[in-house]
Structure formats: C-alpha cells, structure tokens
C-alpha cells in the first residue's frame, strides 16, 4: 500500500495533494533557507500562529455575507491578511520599543493564536455556516479534500515556487552578505520583505495540509539539514528545496495511503529523520566527524606541547600529554626520553623557531597568518624559503650572515 502511495497509485485528489505538497515543500525549503541564513527562522513560527485569527474572521465574514464559510480561498486570504498584520506588529515592536525580536515573535504568536482560539470558540456556537473542519487548520487535514481545494494547493504551491525561483539570485545575495548586496544597489529592505512575503505564502498555502502549528517545520528543518552538507549558499538553497520536496511528497503520500496517519506530523517527522541523519553523519559538520576531528586535534596539541616541553627541558604537567608521549614510544615508563623522542622534540623546537622568524617577517605575512602552533612549516613555505629562514636562525652565530 505504501509502495502504491509513493508511486502515486492514489486517488485523483490524493495525487494532486501529494504533488501540491511537493511543490510547496520545495518552495518552503528554498524560502526557509533565506530565513535561516538571515537568522530569522522563528519569525515563521509567528507568521503561522498569526494566521488563525484571519481564518476565523474570514469565516465569520463569509457567513455574514450569506455563504457557508467554507471557501478555502477566502479562508486562506483571511489568514494571509492576519499573518501580514502579525509581521507588522513584530516589526513595530522591535523598531519602536526596546524589546528584542525574540520577545516580539513570542508575544505576537501567543496573542494572535490566543485571539484565534477565542474566535474559534465563538464560531463553534454560531448556528449559521458549516464550521466543521476549521480545526483542521491547526494540525492540517487532507482527508476528504475537495477537488477545488486540492487545485488551490497545487496552483498555490506552483506559484510560490515560481516566485521563489524568480527572486532566488537577489535573495541569495542578501542572505550571504547584506552589506555587499546593499552596496551593489539592491534594496535589502525590500528583498527582506519579499522573503517574509514568501514565507507567508508558503504558510498560507500549507495551512490546510500541514496545519499552522507544524508548517513552520517545513521552513526550518530542511534548511538546517542542508546546511550540514555544504558551506555554499547556492548549494544549501537547492539541497534544502530538494529535501523539503521529498519530505513533503513522502509525507503526504504516506498519509494518503494510511488515513490514520495525519499528514502534517508525518511530513515533519520524515523531514526530521533527514535532519537527524545529517546531524550525526554529515561528513564535515556532522557530530561524529566533529567529535573525531576534535579528538585528533586535541591529541596533536598535547603531543606538540609535550615535544616542545621535552626539547626545552620543561616539566610536563598534563597526565594526558605524558600518556600520549609514552604510547608513541617517545618517553619510557620511568620518564626517560627515548632517542626517537629526542629527535622528534628537536624537530618540533626547530619548527617553532622557524615559525617565530616567519611571523616576525613582514614579507611572509601571508604564511604567518596560517600559524596555529601545529602546522609544519614545510606545508606552508618552499624549501628555498625555509633554507633562507634557517640561514637567519643560524645568522648571529655564524660569520656575518
């Protein structure tokens, strides 16, 4: 059954929803990357919670105008308006009061959400309109979705994705280096606004599928996951889009095949699984790699410090350093330095002396910047340059260098 789902052997609507979710996932992953790189990931949390009053008010308005209040387009429009108002409130609080952005985000999300709940409880008591299903906006529900609604999601997903693609260059520039972007004539404020607008569009379109509490995950988790795999902005953008698309598609398809699995949580958990794998196993930024690297680095530091201390006849205070030296056969159990130890120590000291000259030499500034106490000079300078250094070390002792 799951295989059927993944290969789209679903009903017509479910297929549409899965495809719509995928487009939306790509758009969310890409948009979210810009939010993440601008260090404003949680603004999306405020945006999504701030949609709720809009849903409620739109429903009430549509009922007041004689409808049954079920037009998805109308509800989404309302949610967009109130999310936009929430964003304005955050901007206003951070600009005109001393409150920091995190406080503004928290205040807006909780108050708007609380007010939205008040409206929902009013709606529950209304006799007109068909309010059943409004709770679906909290956690998302695609079960029993109408063809019209599915189309809205597909079209919304495609449109959002198209705008993201069209604006990706300037957004990348701004996310990477806002000052340079401003200097090269881009209107940073306007592009930031576009990023926010897109985040809002993703939220609104995704509201029905994922629900407002979890939609923020689609904007946050894929970019964070992608960041583990690359340091280049453009690659992070694409990777995040791909991760978002795959997670959303798999999630929506699985949930369509097994109706007891709610769409939103499944999408989020699929996406989190990618994240957890990346956090642990990504090649350079992953936890495992970082841990091994740190261990190696710590050993190199202790080894080098131990060798320098040996060469200069200084005492070694650290037990770990001594253990390392012993294990490498550089020091005997009784503390006597072996011949190999003496040789390595002498080499370390010579390297250190060479470095000291290099770092005092204005002409070798480029090489000097690479000094980290560990790097062998041979990896930085040519053998000719090192010879020259050695001549200068020997200089004062020798005859008229």
Where in 198-217 is the site for another protein (CB under 8 A)? Answer: 213-214, 216-217
Please report whether residue 357 would count as binding another protein according to CB under 8 A: yes
Please report whether residue 363 would count as binding another protein according to CB under 8 A: yes
Report the alpha-carbon distance of residue 401 to residue 392 in Å, rounded.
7
Please report whether residue 309 would count as binding another protein according to CB under 8 A: yes
Report the alpha-carbon distance of residue 274 to residue 287 in Å, rounded.
14
Smallest distance from another protein to CB 62, Å: 20
Q: Is 331 helix (H, G, I), strand (E, B) or coil?
A: strand
Please report whether residue 111 would count as binding another protein according to CB under 8 A: yes
Q: List own/partner pairs for 256-262 with CB under 8 A and 24 or more apart.
A: 256/5, 256/10, 256/11, 256/14, 256/17, 256/18, 256/142, 257/1, 257/2, 257/4, 257/5, 257/10, 258/1, 258/2, 258/5, 259/143, 262/139, 262/140, 262/141
Bridge partners (DSSP) of residue 331 are 337
Smallest distance from another protein to CB 137, Å: 12
The residue within the footprint of another protein, chosen from 10, 17, 47, 138 (CB under 8 A), is 138
The residue among 145 and 154 lying less far from another protein, judged by its C-beta, is 145
Q: What is the per-residue DSSP string for 130-176?
A: --TTTTHHHH---TT--HHHHHHHHHHHHHHHHHHHHHHHHHHHHHH
Which token pair is 333? 């159990």
Report the alpha-carbon distance of residue 243 to residue 185 in Å, rounded.
32
Q: Please identify which residue in the block is written with the tokens 């979890």.
A: 214
Of 157-196, binders to another protein (CB under 8 A) are none
The residue among 118 and 193 lying less far from another protein, judged by its C-beta, is 118
The residue within the footprint of another protein, chosen from 20, 116, 156, 245 (CB under 8 A), is 116
Q: 218 near 40, Cβ under 8 Å?
A: no
Smallest distance from another protein to CB 78, Å: 17
Smallest distance from another protein to CB 184, Å: 26
Of 76-95, binders to another protein (CB under 8 A) are 92-93
The residue within the footprint of another protein, chosen from 132, 231, 362, 384 (CB under 8 A), is 362
The residue within the footprint of another protein, chosen from 2, 8, 9, 39 (CB under 8 A), is 39
Please report whether residue 103 would count as binding another protein according to CB under 8 A: yes
Smallest distance from another protein to CB 227, Å: 7
Segment near another protein (CB under 8 A); pick from 13-21, 242-250, 329-337, 387-395: 387-395
Dihedral (CA of 53, 54, 55, 59) sign: positive
Report the alpha-carbon distance of residue 215 to residue 137 in Å, rounded.
10
Smallest distance from another protein to CB 151, Å: 27
Helix axes 101-124, 51-64, angle to 10 degrees: 30
CA dihedral 121→127→132→137, nearest 10 degrees, is: -40
Of 224-243, binders to another protein (CB under 8 A) are 224, 227-228
Of 260-279, binders to another protein (CB under 8 A) are 260-262, 264-266, 268-269, 272, 275, 279
The residue among 302 and 344 lying less far from another protein, judged by its C-beta, is 302
Residues near 266 by beta carbon (within 8 Å), at least 6 away in sequence: 251, 252, 254, 255
Q: 13 near 261, Cβ under 8 Å?
A: no
Report the alpha-carbon distance of residue 217 to residue 325 in Å, rounded.
49
Size of the residue set binding another protein (CB under 8 A):
98
Please report whether residue 368 would count as binding another protein according to CB under 8 A: yes
Segment near another protein (CB under 8 A); pick from 142-150, 175-183, 329-337, 370-378: 370-378
Segment near another protein (CB under 8 A); pick from 32-40, 70-78, 186-194, 201-209: 32-40
Residues near 159 by beta carbon (within 8 Å), at least 6 away in sequence: 201
The residue among 300 and 342 lying less far from another protein, judged by its C-beta, is 300
The residue within the footprint of another protein, chosen from 15, 16, 19, 36 (CB under 8 A), is 36
Of 117-136, binders to another protein (CB under 8 A) are 117-118, 120-122, 124-125, 135
Segment near another protein (CB under 8 A); pick from 146-154, 184-192, 283-291, 328-336: 283-291
The residue within the footprint of another protein, chosen from 8, 61, 114, 335 (CB under 8 A), is 114
Report the alpha-carbon distance of residue 288 to residue 282 in Å, rounded.
8
Report the alpha-carbon distance of residue 48 to residue 211 in Å, rounded.
9
Please report whether residue 397 would count as binding another protein according to CB under 8 A: yes
């Amino acid at each position: 059954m799951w295989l059927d789902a993944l290969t789209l052997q679903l009903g017509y609507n479910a297929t549409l929803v899965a495809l719509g979710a995928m487009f939306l996932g790509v758009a969310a992953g890409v948009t979210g990357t810009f939010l993440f790189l601008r260090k404003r990931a949680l603004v999306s949390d405020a945006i999504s919670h701030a949609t709720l009053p809009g849903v409620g008010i739109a429903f009430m308005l549509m009922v007041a105008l004689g409808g049954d209040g079920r037009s998805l387009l109308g509800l989404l429009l309302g949610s967009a308006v109130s999310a936009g108002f929430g964003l304005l409130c955050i901007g206003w609080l951070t600009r005109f009061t001393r409150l920091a952005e995190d406080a503004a985000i928290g205040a807006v999300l909780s108050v708007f959400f609380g007010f939205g709940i008040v409206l929902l409880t009013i709606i529950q008591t209304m006799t007109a309109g068909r309010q059943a299903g409004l709770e679906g906006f909290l956690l998302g529900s695609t079960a029993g979705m109408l063809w019209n609604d599915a189309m809205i999601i597909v079209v919304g997903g495609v449109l959002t994705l198209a705008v993201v693609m069209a604006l990706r260059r300037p957004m990348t520039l701004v996310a990477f280096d806002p000052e340079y972007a401003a200097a090269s004539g881009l209107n940073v404020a306007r592009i930031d606004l576009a990023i926010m607008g897109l985040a809002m569009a993703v939220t609104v379109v995704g509201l029905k599928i994922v629900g407002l509490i979890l939609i923020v995950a689609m904007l946050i988790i894929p970019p964070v996951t992608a960041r583990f795999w690359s340091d280049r902005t453009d690659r992070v953008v694409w990777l995040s889009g791909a991760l978002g698309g795959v997670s959303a598609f798999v999630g929506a398809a699985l949930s369509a095949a097994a109706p007891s699995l709610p769409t939103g949580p499944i999408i989020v958990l699929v996406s989190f699984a990618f994240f957890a794998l990346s956090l642990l196993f990504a090649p350079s930024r992953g936890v495992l790699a970082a841990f091994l690297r740190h261990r190696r680095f710590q050993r190199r530091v202790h080894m080098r410090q131990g060798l320098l201390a040996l060469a200069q006849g200084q005492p070694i205070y650290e037990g770990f350093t001594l253990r390392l030296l012993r294990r490498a056969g550089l020091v005997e159990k009784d503390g006597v330095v072996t011949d190999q130890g003496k040789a390595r120590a002498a080499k370390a000291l010579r390297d250190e002396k060479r470095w000291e000259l290099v770092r005092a030499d204005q002409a070798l500034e480029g090489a000097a910047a690479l000094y980290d106490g560990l790097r062998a000079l041979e990896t930085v300078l040519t053998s000719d340059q090192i010879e020259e250094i050695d001549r200068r070390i020997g200089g004062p002792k020798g005859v008229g260098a």
